[in-house]
Amino acid sequence: MKTLIKNGRIVTAVDDYCADIFIDGETITCIGKTLDMPADKIIDAKDRLVIPGGIDPHTHMDMPFGGTTSADDFQSGTAAAAHGGTTTIIDFAIQQKGGSIMKALDTWHEKANGKASIDYSFHMIVTDLSHGDAVNEMRRLMQHEGVLSCKLFMAYPGVLLVDDATIFRAMTIAGDHGGLICMHAENGVVINEIIARALAEGKTAPKYHALTRPTKAEAEGVNRAIAIAEMAGSPVYIVHLSCYDALKKVKEARDLGVPVFAETCPQYLFLDLSYYEKPNFEGAKYVMTPPLREKWNQEELWTGLRMNDLQVVSTDHCPFCMKDQKQLGKDDFTKIPNGGPGVENRMSLVYNGGVAAGRISVNRFVEITSTAAAKIFGLFPKKGTIAVGSDADIVIFDPNKKMTLSASTHHMKVDYNCYEGMEVTGVTETVLSRGQLVIEKGKYVGKAGSGQFIKRSTIQQALQPALASAR
């Protein structure tokens, strides 16, 4: 299949120019002015941005959590992602405590195989490195399985939390193999004390989820993660950073040249603590970890994105329906499954709040939604840019079209939208994944199973340019 995209404005993290793109099979093979090669399909991109497909490096499809399972599987979740202009996700496999890491990887391959309509990769959530097998398995993951990043939790004691010795051990392994540790940085031990006190006082409503997870607990986690990474000789990537207190720790370290990277998510850029006050248990929609913060933090996060103290906007897409799932915590906020939907809305939200609102350039928009994640996670330049030889993962984006976000029109398999009724400027129109149309003028034309698992290469090699241009 040969495809010609004509008349578009090609925007990458560094370029902005008008040209045509020729795709032969899965790959971009030519970019030039007024190309006229014979093609099976010609797409007119006049008045549209032509950008690299979005990369969302933080999703949880089909994930068992809090006594239930996240509502999107790899079929519905990747189709929804494509609707929103995302062509690659990096999802999280989970090692059962005391269980095999390889078995966890097999389980996630089974969950995704034959279902995804865009490409995907995995991080591994490591919960236990107390025996030699687990250590060897983690090495094998990084050396042979193309899984170069592991997530560790400083939160959720007794479930996912790992101690500092395990963090140090995992970071050392990552450092040895050119891998990266993604850190859920919150002091879960202190948080559990605060939660116990709240419950003893009869504070069971959703808002207490937020009030028992102070920003200082996140900042302490970030600080400790960075210090241990320095001792282990490894870079570290802070996931779902939510507040200024935590951002300050990242910025301080980066100012000293420490290889620390961090993502934030749209929920922390657009939503705030007041959402927990909604009546009729609606606050449960926003029970996610870290929680929503006081509104003033939002502008600080945008500044962090603009100044490159934050490199990536991911979603932490982890949807649970209000019906039957969030309801599990009706009488006790600690039983509300943590997480919210967002994989479909990320690109439009960031364009709207970033470019349309005048906070960031259109190049920076591409960088924080695609290119930086490709570099940090070892996918670049196969993914994350528009260049000859790169995968033809391309989004044709209408920067002027408006859309109202709503559960009644979204494609995520969840019964609410965090941004219900919000109007955004900037809409994904057409999406190609490795040269195949997945979304055509807003309609899904993809195929479950056409998405491939992407083995990633040594992260620290790919990271060198990102490190060099960190400031």
Q: Which residues bind Zn ion (CB under 5 A)?
A: 184, 316
Least distance from ligand URP to the Cβ atom of residue 102, Å: 22
Least distance from ligand URP to the Cβ atom of residue 139, Å: 24
288 binds, among Zn ion, ligand URP, none (CB under 5 to 8 A by kind): ligand URP
On whether the CB atoms of residues 94 and 60 are closer than 8 A, the answer is no
Q: Which of residues 353-412 bind ligand URP (CB under 6 A)?
A: none
Sequence length of the chain is 471
Least distance from ligand URP to the Cβ atom of residue 338, Å: 3
**Residue 187, C-beta contacts closer than 8 angstroms, at least 6 positions apart:** 154, 155, 217, 218, 220, 221, 224
The neighbour count for residue 223, using CB atoms within 10 Å, is: 19
Q: Which of residues 21-60 bind ligand URP (CB under 6 A)?
A: 60
Nearest alpha carbon to residue 363 among 108, 17, 1, 61: 17
Dist CA 60 CA 239 (whole Å): 13
Handedness of CA 236, 252, 191, 213 (dihedral sign): negative
Residue of 178, 206, 235, 339 interacting with ligand URP (CB under 6 A)? 339
Q: Are strands 54-59 and 236-238 parallel, antiparallel or unpaired?
A: unpaired
DSSP characters over 210-248 = HHTS-HHHHHHHHHHHHHHHHHHT--EEE-S--SHHHHH
Dist CA 376 CA 462 (whole Å): 7
123 binds, among ligand URP, Zn ion, none (CB under 5 to 8 A by kind): none
59 binds, among ligand URP, Zn ion, none (CB under 5 to 8 A by kind): none
Residue number, 289 or 452, with CB nearest to ligand URP: 289
Residue number, 19 or 183, with CB nearest to Zn ion: 183
393 binds, among ligand URP, Zn ion, none (CB under 5 to 8 A by kind): none
Nearest alpha carbon to residue 50 among 432, 450, 451: 432
Least distance from ligand URP to the Cβ atom of residue 218, Å: 12
Dist CA 437 CA 434 (whole Å): 9
Instruction: Give strand pairing partners of 436.
Output: 433
338 binds, among ligand URP, Zn ion, none (CB under 5 to 8 A by kind): ligand URP
Peptide bond into 235 cis (omega under 30): no
Rule CB under 6 A: say whether 285 interacts with ligand URP: no
Q: Which of residues 401-420 bind ligand URP (CB under 6 A)?
A: none
Contact pattern for ligand URP over residues 172 through 201, marking x by CB under 6 A: ------------x-----------------
Residue number, 101 or 125, with CB nearest to ligand URP: 125
On whether the CB atoms of residues 236 and 273 are closer than 8 A, the answer is no
Least distance from Zn ion to the Cβ atom of residue 166, Å: 16
Rule CB under 6 A: say whether 169 interacts with ligand URP: no
Q: Which of residues 300-319 bind ligand URP (CB under 6 A)?
A: 316, 318
Rule CB under 6 A: say whether 338 interacts with ligand URP: yes
Nearest alpha carbon to residue 458 among 353, 376, 336: 376
Q: Which of residues 206-245 bind ligand URP (CB under 6 A)?
A: 240
Rule CB under 6 A: say whether 289 interacts with ligand URP: yes
Rule CB under 6 A: say whether 66 interacts with ligand URP: no
- Retrieve residue 48's tokens: 């549209």
Binding residues for ligand URP, how many (CB under 6 A)? Answer: 9
Least distance from ligand URP to the Cβ atom of residue 361, Å: 29
Least distance from Zn ion to the Cβ atom of residue 321, Å: 18
Dist CA 309 CA 304 (whole Å): 5
What are the residues binding ligand URP (CB under 6 A)? 60, 184, 240, 288-289, 316, 318, 338-339
